[in-house]
Structure 1
Amino acid sequence: MSPHLQNTLIVIAMLGFACMEWITRRYKNSVNATLDDTKLELAMFVSLLAITQPLALLGAGKLCAWLMPEQQGAWAHLPWWAMAAILLICDDMTQYWWHRVSHSPLLWPLHRAHHTAQYMSIRITYRNNFFYYLMMPGLWIAGVLLYLGFAKVYGAYLVVKLTVILGAHSAWRWDEPLYRIRALRPLMWVLERTISTPATHWAHHAMTNEDGIGHYKGNFGNLLFFWDILFGSAHITRKYPAKIGLQDDVLFGQERWFTQMYYPLFQSRRAHSALRFGGRAYAETDTHSDAAPQIDKPQRST
Protein backbone atom coordinates (compact mmCIF):
# COMPACT_ATOMS: atom_id res chain seq x y z
CA MET A 1 0.00 0.00 0.00
CA SER A 2 1.37 3.41 -0.98
CA PRO A 3 1.81 6.09 1.72
CA HIS A 4 -0.72 8.29 -0.09
CA LEU A 5 -3.40 5.59 -0.05
CA GLN A 6 -2.56 4.73 3.56
CA ASN A 7 -2.96 8.32 4.73
CA THR A 8 -6.14 8.78 2.68
CA LEU A 9 -7.77 5.73 4.28
CA ILE A 10 -6.74 6.84 7.78
CA VAL A 11 -8.26 10.29 7.22
CA ILE A 12 -11.45 8.67 5.90
CA ALA A 13 -11.64 6.50 9.05
CA MET A 14 -11.17 9.54 11.30
CA LEU A 15 -13.77 11.57 9.46
CA GLY A 16 -16.17 8.62 9.43
CA PHE A 17 -16.07 8.14 13.19
CA ALA A 18 -16.20 11.90 13.76
CA CYS A 19 -19.32 12.14 11.61
CA MET A 20 -20.98 9.28 13.46
CA GLU A 21 -20.19 10.90 16.81
CA TRP A 22 -21.88 14.05 15.55
CA ILE A 23 -24.85 12.42 13.75
CA THR A 24 -25.75 10.27 16.77
CA ARG A 25 -25.35 13.34 19.03
CA ARG A 26 -22.99 11.33 21.24
CA TYR A 27 -20.34 14.03 20.91
CA LYS A 28 -22.67 16.86 21.87
CA ASN A 29 -24.24 14.96 24.76
CA SER A 30 -21.15 13.37 26.32
CA VAL A 31 -17.98 15.25 25.37
CA ASN A 32 -17.46 18.15 27.80
CA ALA A 33 -13.87 19.06 27.07
CA THR A 34 -11.99 21.82 28.86
CA LEU A 35 -9.63 24.20 27.14
CA ASP A 36 -6.72 22.27 28.64
CA ASP A 37 -8.17 19.04 27.21
CA THR A 38 -8.19 20.58 23.75
CA LYS A 39 -4.65 21.93 24.06
CA LEU A 40 -3.32 18.57 25.26
CA GLU A 41 -5.03 16.56 22.54
CA LEU A 42 -4.04 18.89 19.71
CA ALA A 43 -0.44 19.21 20.92
CA MET A 44 -0.04 15.45 21.27
CA PHE A 45 -1.60 14.73 17.86
CA VAL A 46 0.71 17.20 16.12
CA SER A 47 3.81 16.13 18.04
CA LEU A 48 3.16 12.44 17.35
CA LEU A 49 2.82 13.00 13.61
CA ALA A 50 5.56 15.61 13.27
CA ILE A 51 8.15 14.49 15.82
CA THR A 52 7.71 11.20 17.66
CA GLN A 53 6.63 8.83 14.90
CA PRO A 54 9.12 10.11 12.29
CA LEU A 55 11.91 10.10 14.89
CA ALA A 56 11.22 6.50 15.92
CA LEU A 57 10.69 5.09 12.42
CA LEU A 58 13.48 7.00 10.70
CA GLY A 59 15.80 6.74 13.69
CA ALA A 60 15.41 2.97 13.79
CA GLY A 61 16.07 2.85 10.05
CA LYS A 62 19.26 4.90 10.42
CA LEU A 63 20.47 2.65 13.22
CA CYS A 64 19.80 -0.42 11.10
CA ALA A 65 21.66 1.11 8.14
CA TRP A 66 24.63 1.67 10.44
CA LEU A 67 24.58 -1.65 12.31
CA MET A 68 23.38 -4.07 9.62
CA PRO A 69 23.50 -2.42 6.18
CA GLU A 70 23.47 -5.76 4.39
CA GLN A 71 20.00 -6.59 5.82
CA GLN A 72 18.06 -3.80 4.11
CA GLY A 73 15.02 -5.39 2.47
CA ALA A 74 16.16 -8.86 3.58
CA TRP A 75 12.64 -9.93 4.61
CA ALA A 76 10.80 -8.40 1.67
CA HIS A 77 10.28 -11.84 0.14
CA LEU A 78 8.04 -13.02 2.99
CA PRO A 79 4.34 -13.56 2.16
CA TRP A 80 1.94 -10.85 3.38
CA TRP A 81 0.38 -13.10 6.03
CA ALA A 82 3.78 -13.83 7.58
CA MET A 83 4.54 -10.12 7.70
CA ALA A 84 1.14 -9.45 9.26
CA ALA A 85 1.77 -12.10 11.93
CA ILE A 86 5.19 -10.62 12.72
CA LEU A 87 3.66 -7.12 13.00
CA LEU A 88 0.93 -8.37 15.33
CA ILE A 89 3.56 -9.83 17.64
CA CYS A 90 6.32 -7.24 17.34
CA ASP A 91 4.07 -4.17 17.25
CA ASP A 92 0.65 -4.95 18.70
CA MET A 93 1.66 -7.44 21.39
CA THR A 94 4.58 -5.30 22.52
CA GLN A 95 2.19 -2.35 22.70
CA TYR A 96 -0.12 -4.45 24.87
CA TRP A 97 2.73 -5.05 27.33
CA TRP A 98 3.92 -1.44 27.14
CA HIS A 99 0.38 -0.34 27.92
CA ARG A 100 0.10 -2.86 30.74
CA VAL A 101 3.38 -1.89 32.44
CA SER A 102 2.40 1.76 32.00
CA HIS A 103 -0.28 1.13 34.61
CA SER A 104 2.45 0.36 37.15
CA PRO A 105 3.55 3.14 39.56
CA LEU A 106 6.85 3.64 37.75
CA LEU A 107 5.44 4.35 34.29
CA TRP A 108 1.93 5.54 35.17
CA PRO A 109 2.93 9.25 34.93
CA LEU A 110 3.72 8.72 31.23
CA HIS A 111 0.29 7.24 30.49
CA ARG A 112 -1.90 9.06 32.99
CA ALA A 113 -2.89 11.78 30.51
CA HIS A 114 -4.77 9.22 28.42
CA HIS A 115 -7.09 8.54 31.35
CA THR A 116 -7.69 12.10 32.52
CA ALA A 117 -10.32 12.80 29.85
CA GLN A 118 -13.77 12.52 31.42
CA TYR A 119 -15.28 11.48 28.11
CA MET A 120 -14.69 9.01 25.30
CA SER A 121 -14.14 10.21 21.76
CA ILE A 122 -11.76 9.67 18.86
CA ARG A 123 -10.13 12.94 19.95
CA ILE A 124 -8.50 11.19 22.93
CA THR A 125 -6.96 8.38 20.84
CA TYR A 126 -3.47 9.94 20.88
CA ARG A 127 -3.85 11.75 24.20
CA ASN A 128 -0.75 10.77 26.20
CA ASN A 129 2.50 12.03 27.62
CA PHE A 130 5.07 13.01 24.97
CA PHE A 131 7.60 10.50 26.30
CA TYR A 132 5.03 7.66 26.38
CA TYR A 133 5.15 7.40 22.59
CA LEU A 134 8.81 8.29 22.30
CA MET A 135 9.69 5.27 24.46
CA MET A 136 7.09 2.89 22.98
CA PRO A 137 8.98 -0.26 21.84
CA GLY A 138 6.53 -1.03 19.03
CA LEU A 139 7.28 2.20 17.16
CA TRP A 140 11.02 1.50 17.12
CA ILE A 141 10.49 -2.15 16.20
CA ALA A 142 8.23 -1.03 13.34
CA GLY A 143 11.11 1.08 12.08
CA VAL A 144 13.33 -2.00 12.03
CA LEU A 145 10.69 -4.01 10.18
CA LEU A 146 10.27 -1.26 7.61
CA TYR A 147 14.02 -1.40 7.03
CA LEU A 148 13.75 -5.16 6.53
CA GLY A 149 11.14 -4.71 3.79
CA PHE A 150 7.68 -4.51 5.43
CA ALA A 151 6.64 -1.15 3.91
CA LYS A 152 3.68 -2.24 1.76
CA VAL A 153 2.15 -4.60 4.33
CA TYR A 154 2.81 -2.15 7.17
CA GLY A 155 0.64 0.47 5.46
CA ALA A 156 -2.37 -1.86 5.30
CA TYR A 157 -1.72 -3.09 8.85
CA LEU A 158 -1.61 0.48 10.16
CA VAL A 159 -4.91 1.38 8.49
CA VAL A 160 -6.65 -1.63 10.08
CA LYS A 161 -5.09 -1.03 13.48
CA LEU A 162 -5.93 2.67 13.65
CA THR A 163 -9.50 2.02 12.47
CA VAL A 164 -10.01 -0.46 15.32
CA ILE A 165 -8.38 1.85 17.89
CA LEU A 166 -10.43 4.86 16.75
CA GLY A 167 -13.57 2.77 16.97
CA ALA A 168 -12.72 1.57 20.48
CA HIS A 169 -12.34 5.18 21.71
CA SER A 170 -15.26 6.61 19.76
CA ALA A 171 -18.14 8.31 21.54
CA TRP A 172 -20.33 6.48 19.00
CA ARG A 173 -20.60 2.99 20.48
CA TRP A 174 -20.81 1.05 17.24
CA ASP A 175 -21.01 -2.34 18.96
CA GLU A 176 -24.01 -1.46 21.15
CA PRO A 177 -26.81 -2.01 18.58
CA LEU A 178 -25.10 -5.13 17.26
CA TYR A 179 -25.34 -6.83 20.66
CA ARG A 180 -29.13 -6.57 20.45
CA ILE A 181 -29.37 -8.54 17.18
CA ARG A 182 -29.86 -12.19 18.10
CA ALA A 183 -28.49 -13.50 14.79
CA LEU A 184 -25.20 -11.66 15.39
CA ARG A 185 -24.56 -13.00 18.88
CA PRO A 186 -22.11 -15.74 17.78
CA LEU A 187 -20.24 -13.26 15.59
CA MET A 188 -20.09 -10.64 18.36
CA TRP A 189 -18.87 -13.26 20.84
CA VAL A 190 -15.90 -13.93 18.56
CA LEU A 191 -15.39 -10.29 17.61
CA GLU A 192 -15.22 -8.92 21.15
CA ARG A 193 -12.60 -11.53 22.01
CA THR A 194 -10.55 -10.72 18.93
CA ILE A 195 -10.38 -6.92 18.58
CA SER A 196 -10.87 -3.98 20.93
CA THR A 197 -14.46 -2.71 20.96
CA PRO A 198 -16.09 0.28 22.67
CA ALA A 199 -17.54 -1.92 25.42
CA THR A 200 -14.23 -3.50 26.39
CA HIS A 201 -12.14 -0.35 25.98
CA TRP A 202 -14.58 1.99 27.70
CA ALA A 203 -14.32 -0.33 30.70
CA HIS A 204 -10.57 0.33 30.71
CA HIS A 205 -11.24 4.09 30.95
CA ALA A 206 -13.82 3.74 33.75
CA MET A 207 -13.48 5.93 36.83
CA THR A 208 -14.23 3.03 39.14
CA ASN A 209 -14.39 -0.77 39.16
CA GLU A 210 -17.06 -0.88 41.86
CA ASP A 211 -19.97 -1.19 39.42
CA GLY A 212 -18.62 -4.45 37.99
CA ILE A 213 -18.28 -2.83 34.56
CA GLY A 214 -15.10 -0.81 34.94
CA HIS A 215 -11.79 -2.59 34.54
CA TYR A 216 -9.02 0.00 34.47
CA LYS A 217 -6.44 -2.60 35.51
CA GLY A 218 -7.12 -4.68 32.42
CA ASN A 219 -8.46 -4.59 28.85
CA PHE A 220 -5.12 -3.26 27.62
CA GLY A 221 -5.38 -4.46 24.02
CA ASN A 222 -5.05 -1.99 21.15
CA LEU A 223 -5.79 -3.77 17.88
CA LEU A 224 -6.18 -7.26 19.30
CA PHE A 225 -8.18 -7.80 22.47
CA PHE A 226 -7.03 -11.38 22.13
CA TRP A 227 -3.89 -10.45 24.08
CA ASP A 228 -6.10 -9.73 27.11
CA ILE A 229 -7.75 -13.12 26.70
CA LEU A 230 -4.37 -14.83 26.34
CA PHE A 231 -2.65 -13.07 29.25
CA GLY A 232 -5.57 -13.03 31.68
CA SER A 233 -6.45 -9.32 31.78
CA ALA A 234 -9.81 -9.44 29.98
CA HIS A 235 -13.15 -8.32 31.40
CA ILE A 236 -16.21 -8.51 29.12
CA THR A 237 -19.65 -7.26 30.20
CA ARG A 238 -21.14 -5.72 27.02
CA LYS A 239 -21.96 -2.71 29.22
CA TYR A 240 -20.48 0.77 29.44
CA PRO A 241 -19.30 2.56 32.59
CA ALA A 242 -21.32 5.52 33.80
CA LYS A 243 -18.24 7.65 34.51
CA ILE A 244 -14.96 8.03 32.66
CA GLY A 245 -11.75 9.56 34.00
CA LEU A 246 -9.80 9.71 37.26
CA GLN A 247 -11.12 10.20 40.79
CA ASP A 248 -8.26 12.49 41.80
CA ASP A 249 -9.05 14.98 39.02
CA VAL A 250 -12.65 15.19 40.24
CA LEU A 251 -11.50 15.87 43.80
CA PHE A 252 -8.53 18.13 43.25
CA GLY A 253 -8.95 19.64 39.81
CA GLN A 254 -7.45 18.75 36.47
CA GLU A 255 -3.69 18.90 35.99
CA ARG A 256 -2.49 21.52 33.49
CA TRP A 257 -2.08 20.29 29.93
CA PHE A 258 1.66 20.98 29.71
CA THR A 259 2.28 19.10 32.98
CA GLN A 260 0.44 16.07 31.64
CA MET A 261 2.22 16.20 28.30
CA TYR A 262 5.76 17.05 29.34
CA TYR A 263 6.20 15.44 32.77
CA PRO A 264 8.86 15.09 34.18
CA LEU A 265 10.03 18.39 32.64
CA PHE A 266 7.06 20.04 34.37
CA GLN A 267 5.88 19.04 37.85
CA SER A 268 2.44 19.14 39.46
CA ARG A 269 1.73 21.28 42.53
CA ARG A 270 -0.95 18.95 43.84
CA ALA A 271 -0.45 16.93 47.02
CA HIS A 272 -2.01 13.82 45.52
CA SER A 273 -0.36 13.55 42.13
CA ALA A 274 1.76 11.08 40.23
CA LEU A 275 3.11 14.03 38.23
CA ARG A 276 5.62 15.22 40.81
CA PHE A 277 8.75 13.71 42.30
CA GLY A 278 7.90 12.19 45.66
CA GLY A 279 4.17 12.45 45.00
CA ARG A 280 1.69 9.63 44.77
CA ALA A 281 -1.54 9.06 42.93
CA TYR A 282 -4.83 9.36 44.76
CA ALA A 283 -6.34 6.05 45.87
CA GLU A 284 -9.92 5.30 46.85
CA THR A 285 -8.73 4.66 50.41
CA ASP A 286 -7.52 8.26 50.71
CA THR A 287 -9.81 10.83 52.27
CA HIS A 288 -10.47 14.31 51.02
CA SER A 289 -9.31 15.79 54.32
CA ASP A 290 -5.65 14.92 53.80
CA ALA A 291 -5.57 16.39 50.31
CA ALA A 292 -4.12 19.70 49.25
CA PRO A 293 -6.46 22.60 48.46
CA GLN A 294 -8.10 22.41 45.08
CA ILE A 295 -6.31 24.09 42.21
CA ASP A 296 -8.19 26.25 39.77
CA LYS A 297 -9.88 24.24 37.06
CA PRO A 298 -9.13 25.21 33.45
CA GLN A 299 -11.78 27.05 31.45
CA ARG A 300 -14.02 25.01 29.25
CA SER A 301 -13.39 25.11 25.57
CA THR A 302 -15.89 26.60 23.23
Structure 2
Amino acid sequence: MNPLLQNTLILTLILGFAAKEWLSRRYQATVHANANDTKLELAMFISLLALAQPIALLGADKVCTWLMPGQRDAWAGLPWWAMVGILLLADDMTQYWWHRLSHTPLLWPLHRAHHSAQYMSIRITYRNNFFYYLMMPGLWLAGVLLFLGLGKVYAFYIVVKMAVILGAHCAWRWDEPLYRIPALRPLMWLVERTISTPATHWAHHALSNADGIGHYKGNFGNLLFVWDMLFGSAHITRRYPPAVGLQDDKLFGEEHWADQMFYPLSQSARAHSALRPGGRPYEEAADAATAGS
Protein backbone atom coordinates (compact mmCIF):
# COMPACT_ATOMS: atom_id res chain seq x y z
CA MET A 1 0.00 0.00 0.00
CA ASN A 2 1.23 3.46 -0.88
CA PRO A 3 2.15 5.38 2.34
CA LEU A 4 0.02 8.32 1.17
CA LEU A 5 -2.98 6.00 0.75
CA GLN A 6 -2.36 4.42 4.15
CA ASN A 7 -2.21 7.78 5.91
CA THR A 8 -5.27 9.01 3.98
CA LEU A 9 -7.26 5.96 5.10
CA ILE A 10 -6.20 6.42 8.73
CA LEU A 11 -7.09 10.12 8.63
CA THR A 12 -10.44 9.22 7.07
CA LEU A 13 -11.10 6.75 9.90
CA ILE A 14 -10.30 9.35 12.54
CA LEU A 15 -12.48 11.99 10.89
CA GLY A 16 -15.27 9.46 10.30
CA PHE A 17 -15.45 8.35 13.92
CA ALA A 18 -15.14 11.96 15.09
CA ALA A 19 -18.06 12.89 12.86
CA LYS A 20 -20.18 10.03 14.26
CA GLU A 21 -19.35 11.14 17.81
CA TRP A 22 -20.50 14.66 16.98
CA LEU A 23 -23.53 13.91 14.80
CA SER A 24 -24.87 11.37 17.27
CA ARG A 25 -24.41 14.07 19.96
CA ARG A 26 -22.62 11.50 22.10
CA TYR A 27 -19.56 13.76 22.22
CA GLN A 28 -21.48 16.78 23.44
CA ALA A 29 -23.39 14.73 26.00
CA THR A 30 -20.60 12.59 27.47
CA VAL A 31 -17.16 14.06 26.76
CA HIS A 32 -16.45 16.68 29.42
CA ALA A 33 -12.72 17.16 28.96
CA ASN A 34 -10.79 19.94 30.64
CA ALA A 35 -7.53 21.71 29.72
CA ASN A 36 -5.48 19.10 31.60
CA ASP A 37 -7.05 16.31 29.51
CA THR A 38 -6.51 18.18 26.26
CA LYS A 39 -2.84 18.91 26.97
CA LEU A 40 -2.16 15.26 27.80
CA GLU A 41 -3.99 13.85 24.78
CA LEU A 42 -2.54 16.32 22.29
CA ALA A 43 1.01 16.01 23.61
CA MET A 44 0.83 12.21 23.60
CA PHE A 45 -0.60 12.01 20.08
CA ILE A 46 2.13 14.28 18.70
CA SER A 47 4.93 12.58 20.64
CA LEU A 48 3.78 9.11 19.55
CA LEU A 49 3.81 10.08 15.87
CA ALA A 50 6.93 12.26 16.00
CA LEU A 51 9.09 10.41 18.53
CA ALA A 52 8.08 7.07 20.05
CA GLN A 53 6.91 5.31 16.89
CA PRO A 54 9.80 6.49 14.66
CA ILE A 55 12.35 5.66 17.38
CA ALA A 56 10.99 2.11 17.74
CA LEU A 57 10.54 1.37 14.03
CA LEU A 58 13.75 3.00 12.82
CA GLY A 59 15.68 1.78 15.84
CA ALA A 60 14.64 -1.81 15.13
CA ASP A 61 15.68 -1.35 11.50
CA LYS A 62 19.13 -0.09 12.54
CA VAL A 63 19.62 -2.99 14.96
CA CYS A 64 18.58 -5.53 12.31
CA THR A 65 20.86 -3.91 9.74
CA TRP A 66 23.73 -4.26 12.20
CA LEU A 67 22.98 -7.81 13.39
CA MET A 68 21.58 -9.49 10.27
CA PRO A 69 22.07 -7.29 7.18
CA GLY A 70 21.60 -10.21 4.81
CA GLN A 71 18.04 -10.84 6.03
CA ARG A 72 16.50 -7.62 4.74
CA ASP A 73 13.26 -8.55 2.88
CA ALA A 74 13.95 -12.24 3.56
CA TRP A 75 10.25 -12.85 4.27
CA ALA A 76 8.91 -10.70 1.45
CA GLY A 77 7.92 -13.79 -0.53
CA LEU A 78 5.60 -15.22 2.13
CA PRO A 79 1.88 -15.41 1.26
CA TRP A 80 -0.21 -12.52 2.62
CA TRP A 81 -2.11 -14.74 5.07
CA ALA A 82 1.15 -15.94 6.62
CA MET A 83 2.27 -12.33 7.02
CA VAL A 84 -1.03 -11.45 8.70
CA GLY A 85 -0.63 -14.39 11.07
CA ILE A 86 2.90 -13.30 11.99
CA LEU A 87 1.72 -9.73 12.61
CA LEU A 88 -1.15 -10.89 14.80
CA LEU A 89 1.27 -12.85 16.96
CA ALA A 90 4.21 -10.44 16.99
CA ASP A 91 2.23 -7.22 17.22
CA ASP A 92 -1.30 -7.80 18.51
CA MET A 93 -0.70 -10.69 20.91
CA THR A 94 2.40 -9.06 22.39
CA GLN A 95 0.40 -5.86 22.80
CA TYR A 96 -2.25 -7.85 24.69
CA TRP A 97 0.40 -9.08 27.15
CA TRP A 98 2.05 -5.65 27.39
CA HIS A 99 -1.37 -4.18 28.15
CA ARG A 100 -2.10 -6.91 30.69
CA LEU A 101 1.28 -6.43 32.42
CA SER A 102 0.58 -2.71 32.48
CA HIS A 103 -2.23 -3.40 34.93
CA THR A 104 0.28 -4.76 37.45
CA PRO A 105 1.85 -2.46 40.09
CA LEU A 106 5.21 -2.33 38.30
CA LEU A 107 3.94 -0.97 34.98
CA TRP A 108 0.63 0.63 35.98
CA PRO A 109 2.18 4.14 36.26
CA LEU A 110 2.98 3.95 32.53
CA HIS A 111 -0.63 3.13 31.63
CA ARG A 112 -2.85 4.86 34.20
CA ALA A 113 -3.13 7.97 31.99
CA HIS A 114 -5.21 5.95 29.57
CA HIS A 115 -7.72 5.18 32.31
CA SER A 116 -7.76 8.59 33.98
CA ALA A 117 -10.12 10.03 31.35
CA GLN A 118 -13.64 10.24 32.73
CA TYR A 119 -15.12 9.79 29.26
CA MET A 120 -14.78 7.50 26.24
CA SER A 121 -13.86 9.00 22.90
CA ILE A 122 -11.44 8.49 20.03
CA ARG A 123 -9.45 11.33 21.60
CA ILE A 124 -8.24 8.98 24.38
CA THR A 125 -7.10 6.21 22.02
CA TYR A 126 -3.41 7.08 22.42
CA ARG A 127 -3.63 8.75 25.83
CA ASN A 128 -0.80 7.05 27.73
CA ASN A 129 2.57 7.66 29.29
CA PHE A 130 5.31 8.48 26.76
CA PHE A 131 7.43 5.53 27.90
CA TYR A 132 4.48 3.14 27.58
CA TYR A 133 4.82 3.32 23.80
CA LEU A 134 8.58 3.73 23.68
CA MET A 135 8.94 0.42 25.54
CA MET A 136 6.08 -1.43 23.80
CA PRO A 137 7.47 -4.74 22.46
CA GLY A 138 5.01 -4.83 19.56
CA LEU A 139 6.32 -1.57 18.09
CA TRP A 140 9.92 -2.83 18.11
CA LEU A 141 8.86 -6.19 16.69
CA ALA A 142 6.91 -4.38 13.97
CA GLY A 143 10.17 -2.66 13.02
CA VAL A 144 11.86 -6.07 12.76
CA LEU A 145 9.04 -7.40 10.57
CA LEU A 146 9.21 -4.35 8.31
CA PHE A 147 12.94 -5.04 7.91
CA LEU A 148 12.12 -8.65 6.99
CA GLY A 149 9.78 -7.54 4.22
CA LEU A 150 6.23 -7.43 5.63
CA GLY A 151 5.77 -3.74 4.80
CA LYS A 152 2.97 -3.97 2.25
CA VAL A 153 0.81 -6.25 4.37
CA TYR A 154 1.64 -4.26 7.50
CA ALA A 155 0.13 -1.15 5.92
CA PHE A 156 -3.24 -2.89 5.40
CA TYR A 157 -3.02 -4.53 8.81
CA ILE A 158 -2.45 -1.26 10.65
CA VAL A 159 -5.42 0.41 8.92
CA VAL A 160 -7.72 -2.44 10.00
CA LYS A 161 -6.30 -2.39 13.53
CA MET A 162 -6.79 1.37 13.76
CA ALA A 163 -10.42 0.99 12.69
CA VAL A 164 -11.10 -1.53 15.47
CA ILE A 165 -9.23 0.40 18.18
CA LEU A 166 -10.83 3.73 17.30
CA GLY A 167 -14.23 2.07 17.20
CA ALA A 168 -13.72 0.47 20.62
CA HIS A 169 -12.96 3.86 22.23
CA CYS A 170 -15.47 5.90 20.27
CA ALA A 171 -18.13 7.84 22.20
CA TRP A 172 -20.57 6.62 19.53
CA ARG A 173 -21.16 2.97 20.43
CA TRP A 174 -21.44 1.32 17.03
CA ASP A 175 -22.33 -2.10 18.44
CA GLU A 176 -25.26 -0.92 20.58
CA PRO A 177 -27.96 -0.78 17.87
CA LEU A 178 -26.75 -4.05 16.35
CA TYR A 179 -27.39 -5.94 19.60
CA ARG A 180 -31.06 -4.99 19.33
CA ILE A 181 -31.56 -6.69 15.96
CA PRO A 182 -32.56 -10.34 16.59
CA ALA A 183 -31.33 -11.50 13.17
CA LEU A 184 -27.83 -10.24 13.98
CA ARG A 185 -27.45 -12.00 17.32
CA PRO A 186 -25.42 -14.96 15.95
CA LEU A 187 -23.16 -12.56 14.01
CA MET A 188 -22.66 -10.26 17.01
CA TRP A 189 -21.92 -13.27 19.21
CA LEU A 190 -19.01 -14.03 16.85
CA VAL A 191 -17.92 -10.41 16.42
CA GLU A 192 -17.69 -9.63 20.14
CA ARG A 193 -15.52 -12.71 20.68
CA THR A 194 -13.25 -11.88 17.76
CA ILE A 195 -12.47 -8.16 17.94
CA SER A 196 -12.62 -5.46 20.60
CA THR A 197 -16.00 -3.70 20.64
CA PRO A 198 -17.27 -0.69 22.57
CA ALA A 199 -19.17 -2.94 25.02
CA THR A 200 -16.14 -5.04 25.94
CA HIS A 201 -13.62 -2.20 25.89
CA TRP A 202 -15.78 0.27 27.79
CA ALA A 203 -16.05 -2.38 30.51
CA HIS A 204 -12.25 -2.31 30.71
CA HIS A 205 -12.38 1.45 31.38
CA ALA A 206 -15.12 1.20 34.01
CA LEU A 207 -14.88 3.22 37.20
CA SER A 208 -16.01 0.18 39.20
CA ASN A 209 -16.43 -3.57 38.87
CA ALA A 210 -19.16 -3.66 41.49
CA ASP A 211 -22.12 -3.67 39.06
CA GLY A 212 -20.96 -6.75 37.15
CA ILE A 213 -20.41 -4.71 33.98
CA GLY A 214 -17.01 -3.23 34.69
CA HIS A 215 -13.95 -5.39 34.13
CA TYR A 216 -10.92 -3.13 34.39
CA LYS A 217 -8.59 -6.07 35.12
CA GLY A 218 -9.56 -7.87 31.92
CA ASN A 219 -10.70 -7.24 28.32
CA PHE A 220 -7.16 -6.27 27.36
CA GLY A 221 -7.39 -7.01 23.62
CA ASN A 222 -6.59 -4.27 21.11
CA LEU A 223 -7.43 -5.60 17.66
CA LEU A 224 -8.39 -9.16 18.61
CA PHE A 225 -10.56 -10.01 21.59
CA VAL A 226 -9.59 -13.60 20.85
CA TRP A 227 -6.62 -13.21 23.20
CA ASP A 228 -8.95 -12.44 26.11
CA MET A 229 -11.04 -15.50 25.26
CA LEU A 230 -7.91 -17.65 24.97
CA PHE A 231 -6.12 -16.40 28.09
CA GLY A 232 -9.09 -16.17 30.44
CA SER A 233 -9.49 -12.39 30.78
CA ALA A 234 -12.76 -11.96 28.84
CA HIS A 235 -15.96 -10.50 30.28
CA ILE A 236 -18.93 -10.01 27.95
CA THR A 237 -22.21 -8.43 29.08
CA ARG A 238 -23.36 -6.38 26.06
CA ARG A 239 -23.83 -3.52 28.51
CA TYR A 240 -21.85 -0.36 29.15
CA PRO A 241 -20.59 0.90 32.51
CA PRO A 242 -22.38 3.96 33.89
CA ALA A 243 -19.06 5.70 34.55
CA VAL A 244 -15.43 5.37 33.47
CA GLY A 245 -12.20 6.68 34.97
CA LEU A 246 -10.23 6.11 38.16
CA GLN A 247 -11.49 6.00 41.71
CA ASP A 248 -8.38 7.69 43.13
CA ASP A 249 -8.86 10.71 40.85
CA LYS A 250 -12.44 10.99 42.07
CA LEU A 251 -11.26 10.90 45.68
CA PHE A 252 -8.03 12.91 45.56
CA GLY A 253 -8.19 15.02 42.40
CA GLU A 254 -6.76 14.44 38.94
CA GLU A 255 -3.04 14.13 38.29
CA HIS A 256 -1.22 16.86 36.34
CA TRP A 257 -0.87 16.03 32.66
CA ALA A 258 2.95 16.21 32.75
CA ASP A 259 3.16 13.70 35.62
CA GLN A 260 0.88 11.32 33.72
CA MET A 261 2.86 11.64 30.51
CA PHE A 262 6.46 11.80 31.73
CA TYR A 263 6.55 9.71 34.93
CA PRO A 264 9.09 8.79 36.32
CA LEU A 265 10.86 11.95 35.07
CA SER A 266 7.97 14.01 36.42
CA GLN A 267 6.33 12.79 39.63
CA SER A 268 3.11 13.55 41.43
CA ALA A 269 2.89 15.70 44.53
CA ARG A 270 -0.39 14.02 45.49
CA ALA A 271 -0.23 12.08 48.75
CA HIS A 272 -2.13 9.07 47.35
CA SER A 273 -0.68 8.39 43.90
CA ALA A 274 0.89 5.70 41.78
CA LEU A 275 2.96 8.40 40.10
CA ARG A 276 5.48 8.80 42.88
CA PRO A 277 7.91 6.38 44.59
CA GLY A 278 6.19 4.51 47.37
CA GLY A 279 2.75 5.63 46.29
CA ARG A 280 -0.06 3.22 45.52
CA PRO A 281 -3.27 3.48 43.50
CA TYR A 282 -6.68 3.31 45.09
CA GLU A 283 -7.83 -0.32 45.31
CA GLU A 284 -11.59 -0.70 45.27
CA ALA A 285 -11.65 -4.10 46.99
CA ALA A 286 -9.13 -3.13 49.67
CA ASP A 287 -10.94 0.11 50.42
CA ALA A 288 -14.29 -1.65 50.64
CA ALA A 289 -12.80 -4.18 53.09
CA THR A 290 -11.40 -1.36 55.22
CA ALA A 291 -14.73 0.45 55.22
CA GLY A 292 -16.52 -2.69 56.35
CA SER A 293 -14.14 -3.46 59.22
**What TM-score range do you get, normalising by the shorter chain?**
over 0.9
| Match of residue 81 from structure 1 | 81
| Match of residue 145 from structure 1 | 145
1:129-278 → structure 2 map (5 Å cutoff): 129-278=129-278
Structure 2 stretches of 5 or more lacking a match? none
| Match of residue 52 from structure 1 | 52
Q: Distance in 2 between matches of 1:68 and 1:144?
A: 11
| Corresponding letter in the other structure for 2:24 | T
Higher helix share: 2
Instruction: State the identity as a percent.
Output: 75
TM-score normalized by the length of structure 1:
0.94
Q: Distance in 1 between matches of 2:109 and 2:19?
A: 32
| 1:255-288 per-position Cα deviation (integer Å, ceiling 9, x unaligned) | 000000000001111121100001111122338x
| Corresponding letter in the other structure for 1:242 | P
TM-score normalized by the length of structure 2:
0.97
Return the offset for 1:2.
Answer: 1.3
Structure 1 stretches of 5 or more lacking a match? 291-302
Q: Distance in 2 between matches of 1:75 and 1:286?
A: 52
Q: Distance in 1 between matches of 2:251 and 2:182?
A: 42
| 1:4-44 per-position Cα deviation (integer Å, ceiling 9, x unaligned) | 11100000000000000000000000000010000000000
| Match of residue 299 from structure 1 | none
Q: Distance in 1 between matches of 2:272 and 2:54?
A: 35
| Corresponding letter in the other structure for 1:150 | L
Aligned Cα root-mean-square deviation (Å): 1.2
Q: Distance in 2 between matches of 1:117 and 1:249?
A: 10
| Match of residue 107 from structure 2 | 107
| 1:86-139 per-position Cα deviation (integer Å, ceiling 9, x unaligned) | 000000000000000000000000000000000000000000000000000000
Return the offset for 1:166.
Answer: 0.1
| 1:195-239 per-position Cα deviation (integer Å, ceiling 9, x unaligned) | 000000000000000000000000000000000000000000000
Q: Secondary structure at the match of 2:120?
A: coil
| Match of residue 119 from structure 1 | 119
1:32-47 → structure 2 map (5 Å cutoff): 32-47=32-47
Q: Distance in 1 between matches of 2:43 and 2:271?
A: 26
| Corresponding letter in the other structure for 2:100 | R
| Corresponding letter in the other structure for 1:237 | T
Q: Following TM superposition, where does structure 1 have runs of at least 4 consecutive aligned residues deviating by more than 3 angstroms?
A: none
Q: Secondary structure at the match of 2:193?
A: coil
Between the two proteins, the alignment pairs up a number of residues equal to 289
| Match of residue 67 from structure 2 | 67
Q: Distance in 2 between matches of 1:129 and 1:78?
A: 36
| 1:132-171 per-position Cα deviation (integer Å, ceiling 9, x unaligned) | 0000000000000000001100000000001000000000
Q: Distance in 2 between matches of 1:258 and 1:165?
A: 25
